[in-house]
């Protein structure tokens, strides 16, 4: 019996110590955790904000660089185009001027040929037109005489146009030196060249006279 009692006494007995905490310790730990979490969150936000700002700055810088490069390319292309246009004008201006002159000559020559053909086809109409040109000036009352080709004089006299068209007191003279369809008028203070050849020459002179700007140059 004593042996059993001794054995039971030899078994270890667990000792439980009570948990001792300072007043408010758990609350302080919670507040510390909260403050640490908030500080970390704020630091993360600041870091993200800085990263976003840097990314935006890089994006804006890239945009400016691309815009500057595009502007430089546009300026270079514009300069090249202007240079090419100037070179083209320099090469083509003489050619265009030459063709302008040829075109004017061709038109005037054609008009002259048509007038000559009209004179041959309708001598009476040509004679009447010549007399009309000779007395069509504003000061026709000062006409002293009108000189026509003898054949034209016969045509207008036969039709009675000399009386109808000639100013009072003027004389109609047959002049062999005047071509058919032409007329010369003598005024009291000068003369009027109403020949078709002279009219064509005046038109040619006007059309071929130099101008201040090339006909084919665009306005600026």
Q: Are residues 145 and 199 in the same domain?
A: yes
Does the residue 16 lie in any domain?
A: no
The angle formed by the CA atoms of residues 76, 77 and 79, to the nearest 5 degrees, is 65
Q: How many domains does the chain have?
A: 2
What pLDDT score was predicted for residue 217?
46
What pLDDT score was predicted for residue 164?
84
Residue ending a domain, choose from 53, 76, 95: 95
d(CA 182, CA 127): 7
**Least confident segment among 49-58, 61-70, 174-183, 184-193:** 61-70
Q: Are residues 52 and 89 in the same domain?
A: yes
Asked if pLDDT for residue 202 goes beyond 90, the answer is no
Q: Are residues 197 and 136 in the same domain?
A: yes
Does the residue 182 lie in any domain?
A: yes
Q: Are residues 135 and 202 in the same domain?
A: yes
Residue ending a domain, choose from 95, 112, 144: 95
Does the residue 1 lie in any domain?
A: no
Does the residue 77 lie in any domain?
A: yes
Residue-averaged pLDDT of the chain: 73
Q: Smallest Cα–Cα separation from 97: which of 202, 204, 211?
A: 211
Q: Are residues 126 and 201 in the same domain?
A: yes
Strand partners, 105: none
Does the residue 63 lie in any domain?
A: yes
Does the residue 114 lie in any domain?
A: no
Asked if pLDDT for residue 100 goes beyond 60, the answer is yes
What pLDDT score was predicted for residue 155?
92
**Least confident segment among 43-47, 154-158, 165-169:** 43-47
Q: Are residues 150 and 198 in the same domain?
A: yes
Does the residue 12 lie in any domain?
A: no
For residue 52, give its domain range: 33-95
**Least confident segment among 12-16, 41-45, 62-66, 140-144:** 12-16
What pLDDT score was predicted for residue 10?
56
What pLDDT score was predicted for residue 220?
41
Does the residue 105 lie in any domain?
A: no
Q: Smallest Cα–Cα separation from 147: which of 158, 137, 133, 160?
A: 133
Asked if pLDDT for residue 214 goes beyond 60, the answer is no
Asked if pLDDT for residue 190 goes beyond 70, the answer is yes
The DSSP-derived string for the chain is -HHHHHHHHHS-----PPP---TTHHHHHHHHHHHHHHHHHHHHHHHHHHHHHHHHHHHHHHHHHHHHHHHHHHHHHHHHHHHHHHHHHHHHHHHHHHHHHHHHHHHHHHHHHHHHHHHHH-HHHHHHHHHHHHT-STTGGGEEEEEE-HHHHHHHHHTTHHHHHSPTT-EEEE-TTSPTT-EEEEETTEEEE--HHHHHHHHHHHHHS--SS-TTPPP-
Give the count of beta carbons closer than 10 Å to the beta carbon of residue 155.
22
**Least confident segment among 1-10, 22-31, 136-145, 176-185:** 1-10
What is the CATH number for 172? 3.30.2320
Q: Are residues 131 and 195 in the same domain?
A: yes
Q: Are residues 138 and 204 in the same domain?
A: yes
């Amino acid at each position: 019996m004593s042996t059993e009692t001794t054995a039971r006494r030899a078994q270890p007995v667990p000792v439980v110590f009570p948990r001792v905490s300072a007043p408010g310790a758990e609350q302080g730990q919670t507040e510390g955790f909260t403050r640490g979490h908030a500080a970390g969150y704020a630091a993360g936000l600041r870091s993200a904000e800085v990263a976003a700002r840097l990314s935006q700055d890089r994006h804006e810088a890239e945009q400016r660089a691309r815009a500057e490069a595009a502007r430089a390319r546009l300026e270079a292309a514009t300069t090249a185009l202007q240079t090419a246009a100037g070179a083209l004008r320099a090469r083509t201006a003489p050619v265009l001027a030459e063709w302008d002159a040829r075109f004017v000559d061709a038109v005037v020559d054609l008009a002259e040929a048509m007038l000559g053909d009209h004179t041959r086809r309708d001598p009476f109409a040509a004679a009447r037109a010549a007399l009309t040109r000779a007395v069509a000036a504003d000061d026709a009352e000062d006409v002293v005489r009108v000189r026509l080709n003898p054949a034209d004089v016969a045509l207008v006299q036969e039709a009675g146009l000399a009386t109808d068209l000639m100013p009072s007191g003027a004389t109609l003279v047959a002049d062999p030196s005047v071509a058919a369809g032409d007329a010369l008028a003598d005024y009291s203070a000068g003369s009027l060249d109403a020949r078709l050849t002279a009219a064509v020459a005046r038109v040619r002179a006007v059309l071929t006279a130099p101008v201040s700007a090339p006909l084919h140059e665009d306005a600026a």
